[in-house]
Every structure is written in C-alpha cells, then in structure tokens.
Structure 1
Amino acid sequence: MMKGKQTFGWSSEGKEAFEGIKKAIARTPILACPDFSKDFIIYCYATENTLAAVLTQKDSNDHELPIAFMSYILKNHELKYTMMEKHAFVVVKVVKQFHFYILNSHSTVLVPDTTIKSILTHSIDEWYADITHFLTYGECPSHLTTKEKRAIKLRSAQYVLWENALFKCGMDGRFLKCVDKEQQKKLLSAFHDQACGGHYSSTVTTHKILRVGYYWPTLFKDASKWIDKCEACQTFVGRPKLAALPLKPVVIEEPFQQWGLDFIGTLNPSSSVGHTHVLTATDYFTKWVEAIPVKSTTSEVVCNFIKENILVRFGVPNKIVTDNASNFSSAEIMDFCYGYGISLAHSSNYYPQGNGQAKSTNKNLVAIVRKLVNESQRNWHKKLYDALWADRITPKRAIGMSPFQVVYGVEAQLPVIVELPALYLMKAIEDTSFNDSLDKRIMYLHKLNEDRLQVADRISAHQQKVKYLFDKKAKSRDFKVGDIVLLWDKRHEPQGSHGKFDSLWLGPFKIRHFAGENSFYLDYMDGSSLPLPYSGQYLKLFKS
C-alpha cells in the first residue's frame, strides 16, 4: 500500500479498530496471586498425545484470572490409554501439579461437556460401569430399579477388580479381562482381520479371544455381526458342495506319526520372485502345518522338504500320504522314504479321500492368503507365513485346542496380547523366580501328555460328527425380491482358469423378480440388468 501512487484511507472505524488492538495487546494475561480464602477452578483437557490444565480464580469483579498452567506430553505406554483413561489421567496429574494450591481448599474440576458425554455413551458399557460401581462401593448405582439391582448383585459374584481392571471368572476357572467398546473392536480386528487372524468364522474368532483371556457379554453376537459384514469373508468364501462319497475316518493316536503332503498350484499369478507352487505338509494328529513356496515340483524338492521341515524338526514319521502325482511316486522319493523306514502311501491306491487332510490344509491356506495379498497378488509368498501363523494358533474343532498348544504345551504369545495384557501374562511378568518358572514348565509338560491323550478321543468323536454332517445332502436357500446377493463365479469351477487368489463371488446384485422355481433375474446396484436368470444354487445373501 505504501508503494507508487496508491492512496491510504484512514476512517473513524479503522482508528477505532486500531485502538482496540492496542488495548488487547496491553491486556496480555498475567498470572495472578492466589487467594486461599476463595475457591479454585481447574480446567482440564486431554488429546491423543498431550494433557493440559489451567488453575484459575475469580476476582472481586467476578473475572477469572489464571493462577498456574500445566502441560504434559504422553509417553510410551501412556499413549496406549483409552480416551477415558487419558481424561482420568489428566485429573491425577492436576492433583499432583497443583496440590500446593488446592490442599485444604475447595476446588472445582471442569472438563469439556463433549468429553463427559463421550465417556458416558461410548467408552464404557453400562454393564461394566454398574458392576465396577458395585464391587468398588458395595452398593448398586441409585438410578437402577430394584430388579436391576438384584441382577447386578447376582452377576457381580462372577467378577473381581484387580489393579483397576475388571475380570470375569470363566467356565474353566480362568479370569478373563473385561474390555470396553474401543478395545472390543481392536480385539475383533486383530483376531479376524489382521495378519494372525486368518478371517475365520465367528465361532473360531470368539474361541480365540476367550482363550487368550478377554471377555464382554455380547462377544458372540458382536463377533458374528463383525464377520457377517466383513467384505473379504463374503466375497472369498467358497460355495457349499454336496458330499460325493461317504467319509472314511483315518485313526491316528500319536503326534507326528503320519503326515499328508500335497502341492498347491500352479498358482496364477506366480510370486514376484518366481514361485509357482506351495508345498504343504500336515500332521494328522496335531494338525500342525508346514509349508514353503517353491519354483519347481521335482522329486528333489519334495525330498529336501521332507528332510528339512519334517525329519529334523519332528522326527521320522511312520507314514507319509500323498496323491499319485509323478513327483510323489518317483523312484527317488521311494528310495528316500525306504532309507528312513517311512511307509509311503498314495491316496489313489490307499483310499480316494485318504489325503483329505492335506487337501483341507491347502484349501484353508489359500482362503487366508487370498484375503491378505495386495492388488497385484504377487506377494503371496510373503503372506504365506502370516497364514501359517494364523493357522497354527487357531483352535481346531477336531482336537479342541490350537496346533501350537498341542505341540508346545502353551498358547502362543501374540502382539495384541503384549499391547493389551491379559491376567495370565500380568502374573507371568511378576513371577521372576527361576525355580517357579521351572516348576511351572514341568507342570505344563505333564499336562501336555494328558492333553494329547484326550486329543485322540476328540479326533475320533469329531470325525464321526463330520462324517454325519458331510454325508447329508445340501439344502436349498430361499430368496425374495429385493434381496442383495452375491453370484458364484463359475470361472472357479474345476475347468476354469481364474487366478488362485481372486474373489470367488461376483456382485453384489439385487434380485429383480423370479424367473421360475429357485431361479432369479438380477440387477446391478446401479440399476442395469443381467440378461439371463440364475439358479439360487449359485447365490448367497450379501450383508452390509
């Protein structure tokens, strides 16, 4: 404005604004001296990374004057606190910081209304707050009815407070840590969506959460809803099939005595470093899986795999079951097995479903990997180890526990357990005695022997149950106009040539109208139509 011939206008409004700015600058807040005969007011605030507070007091003109300020940057484990815990933590820090002022005087602590509403409506479930209140004060909250108070007293008998956390006594006597809504979502994501989750069913996901020591009353329902809305699970799950032949269970009574070997592939696309197949081995007793990505399927590769991944880790088995492919039935393989005293059985001669354990493993690993790969799908060789991790720590219905526990006698320690430690881990950290640790390990080994004796019985019972269910005929589904559905991608049929990790379902689509009994016309979600009708056999409901 001061260059050239530009003019500068100075109006009365400008002069008034300028005088106002000078007065505002002159009134910069100055810390006032405290008057201990008057009340103090404390304003608290917490964010994801910091805490802040200001101590004020009103003067004779009822104007608030600042007395002291406090700020604090959260560190290490403090950053993992929930927002509710951070708002409680700032009050603790305030009491320590301002105790010289507020000691023997009346003080009022204020936090933003939105924070209070968030804590009351989102951070803590009502059941958690009521039970904690009863266990802390010995009485129920006053707002509850007589019937609700009676219910709280009965439920509280199953809970204990320990180190400011609520625990529930489980059916097996273990104490399960109760978690709030924010932590519930974190656990469901960790045990279903993330690397060690594996996108298993709601029953398996719930079982995994309970086994590592966490609980909330709606766990089963929440897990079911979470997985029902999982897009990866809906679009990648396989189509139900009829049982072609009755099952014939294979009786195994000891671990690592019989392994099933098989190849997955040829995989399309190949990995970024040229792998085209996955070679897998599954122990029939423990359900432990070994797998490696390979670039060729020669007999030499198979022999090296057996030696490096089975013999040197688990000992020499009695039997290895494979299909009748040339790389499993060559003279080199037979000589190798004969040299170690291993009986080599081929499913085509041994029994048509005799290598079903390996086929089941292959199907399971592919189902996990296809949900973990990136858009190019060429990083599947890296995600294979995440799939193995998830499979080994997941309880198997046939044996009643995870393969990891059957092999090692203890549950695997996972990243989420370190971040949100359950009760057993807290106690383990406290116990630093070598003798106590040694005694505990010996006890685990004795218990492991008992567990393995029970596993044989569980496998037999499970096999009979699976046989009964598998041999039944599949049931048709009922759909109605307006339903949102997915359509089975026929390119995944045996004669198809689709990518191994591609989505198994197309859609979603909307059912426009019936074309006949169990046959429907479909529309895309944008309103355009598919020209031909589709059988309900190839449809399933889509949940969102």
Structure 2
Amino acid sequence: MGYYWPKMVQDSMDYAKKCEACQYHANFIHQPPEPLHPTVAYWSFEAWGLDLVGLITPKSSAGHSYILAAIDYFSKWVKVIPLREAKKENMAKFIRTHIIYRFGIPHWIVTDNGRQFSNSMIDKLCEKFKFKQYKSSMYNTATNCLAEAFNKTLCNLLKKIVSKSKRDWQERIGEALWAYRTTHRTPTGVTPYSLVYGVEVVLPLEREIPSLRMAVQEGLTTEDNVKLRLQELEALDEKRLEA
C-alpha cells in the first residue's frame, strides 16, 4: 500500500525552520541584487566549474585541509574530494579521474587563476583531451559563481552535521553530497540525481513507509517494468529540455 500525506511539503518546510543548526548556519545575504548573466550549458557534463576550499581548520582526523569540488553547469551534479595538499598534480588527477574518465570529456571547464589550476600540467591535459579552460580573476570571482555558491552550500551543510570536535568533516562529505544531489535545484526545477540517472532516488522514508511508486513497481511483471522504464526515459528527455 502507498500513503498520502496532505501538505507534506509545507510540513517539511515548517520542520526545517525549527532546526537549530539550520538557523544558526543559514546564509545572510547582504549583497544588493544585480542582473544575472548565467553561463549556459546545453547537455549534461558539457561544462564544469571547479573550486578549492581551504585552508580548513581544524584538519580532518585523516589530515585533510582542503576540499576540491566540481559542479556540472547543466544538471548541477557535484563531485567532491578531500585533499591533504593543494598541489597542481592533485587538480590534474581529479579532472582526469573524476571528470573525464567518469563523465566524458567536457567542452570547457571554469577555474580560478590560482597556481593550482593555472599551470603547464593543466594546459597539457586540456591539449591532450581537446577541451578549453576559462579562468576567473581574483577581481571577478563571479565568473565561477556556480562553483563558489556550491562550496558555500557544502560548507554550511557540513557545519550542521559534523561532531563537536569538527574533525570528522571528511567522513560527512558523502552525506552532504547526497542531500545536495537529491534536493530540487531552483534553476532546473528538478534534482541533479534525476537529471543524471533518469529516476528519483529512493529515500529512507520510502523504505520505512512504502510510497506509491515503490508499491506499484514491486507488483509489476518484467514486461510492465520495461514499459514503465521506457516511459521514464521519455519523461527524462522532456525534463532535460526544460532544464
């Protein structure tokens, strides 16, 4: 059996407003509004924004002092790793291993102009795989605003879930990423997870109280499951066009 929860979204918002940690670490926006100039990507993993967070204090229990993050401009999918050192070798390895080998060669990437990203090693990587690198200057960080905004969100998420010692933040990154990837993003109107995988993630609540979709899928035959999957793929194409 499924379940019906009237005003579920409103109840969830009311519950979140009472979260002490959420209120304590909420964003305070003091910058006046100004016209937006969005960077447009036309398909998933075409363009990535990369940014480095650190030096982080205290260090993690494993000795990490930095966070390297990348966000896909189209789907808003994010990839994050902790680092002990902010070396150019780590940046090049991240782009090669976690972006190119996993999601394919991008059309372009956006980074800041720091030495970790602006060096011959990154230049050779761009030349080898035939993609472009655009750099934002220290006087115009808004060029890489998507990555900057995500890093701020990630740090706020980690502040809410780390222990009192604050040294377990590298162990909590996966939990924070899961929350971000399964939350509807305002620019697209859908979750990054659904744009990448074509279905919505199964949440813990759906295992405790089976939702309608879980109840329906468990009762379907193999043939019906195939038809349902084809319908979901067609709906995914529409979502991506709208995004």
For residues 436 and 350 of structure 1, the distance between their equivalents in structure 2, rounded to whole angstroms, comes to 56
Determine if the alignment matches structure 1 residue 427 to structure 2 residue 216.
yes
Question: What letter corresponds to residue 216 of structure 1 in structure 2?
Answer: P
After TM superposition, the score normalised by the length of structure 1 is 0.43
Deviations 1:186-242 (A, max 9, x none): xxxxxxxxxxxxxxxxxxxxxxxxxxxxx224751x334323321111211132211
| Gap change, CA 1:306 and 1:421, over 3 Å in 2 | same
Q: Does 1:295 align with 2:84?
A: yes
Structure 1 residues 318 and 351, CA gap change in structure 2 (3 angstroms): farther
Q: Does 1:446 align with 2:221?
A: no
Residue 389 of structure 1 corresponds to which residue in structure 2? 178
C-alpha separation between the residues in 1 aligned to 2:190 and 2:61? 35
2:204 matched residue in structure 1: 415
Residue 378 of structure 1: aligned partner: 167
Where in structure 1 are there 5+ consecutive unaligned residues?
Answer: 1-162, 166-176, 179-214, 456-544
Contact 2:40–2:73 (8 Å) recurs in 1: no
Q: How does 1:74-473 map to 2 (within 5 A)?
A: 177-178=3-4, 215-217=5-7, 220=10, 222-243=11-32, 246-348=35-137, 352-431=141-220, 433-455=221-243
Larger radius of gyration: 1
**8 A Cα contact 1:293 1:381, kept in partner:** yes
Instruction: Give the number of aligned pairs.
Output: 243
CA RMSD of aligned residues (A): 1.9
Q: CA deviation at 1:351?
A: 5.8
**Is 1:247–1:353's contact at 8 Å kept on the other side of the alignment?**
no
Larger RCO: Structure 1 or Structure 2 (Cα < 8 Å, ≥ 6 residues apart)? Answer: 2
**Structure 1 residues 374 and 361: alpha-carbon distance in aligned structure 2, compared to 1, 3 A threshold:** same
**1: CA distance, partners of 2:9 / 2:173:** 29
**In 2, distance between residues paired with 1:352 and 1:422?**
43
Query: Displacement of 1:318 after TM fit?
Result: 0.3
Residues in 2 aligned to 1:244 and 1:440: alpha-carbon distance in whole angstroms: 44
TM-score by length of 2: 0.94
What amino acid sits opposite 1:440 in the alignment? L
Q: How far off its partner does 1:452 sit?
A: 0.7
Residues 1:447 and 1:350: Cα distance change in structure 2 (over 3 Å): farther
Q: Which runs of 5+ in 2 are unaligned?
A: none
The 1:275–1:411 alpha-carbon spacing in structure 2 relative to 1, beyond 3 Å, is: same
1:451: how far off?
Answer: 1.3
**CA–CA distance in structure 2, aligned partners of residues 303 and 445 of structure 1:** 34
Name the aligned partner's letter for residue 302 of structure 1. M
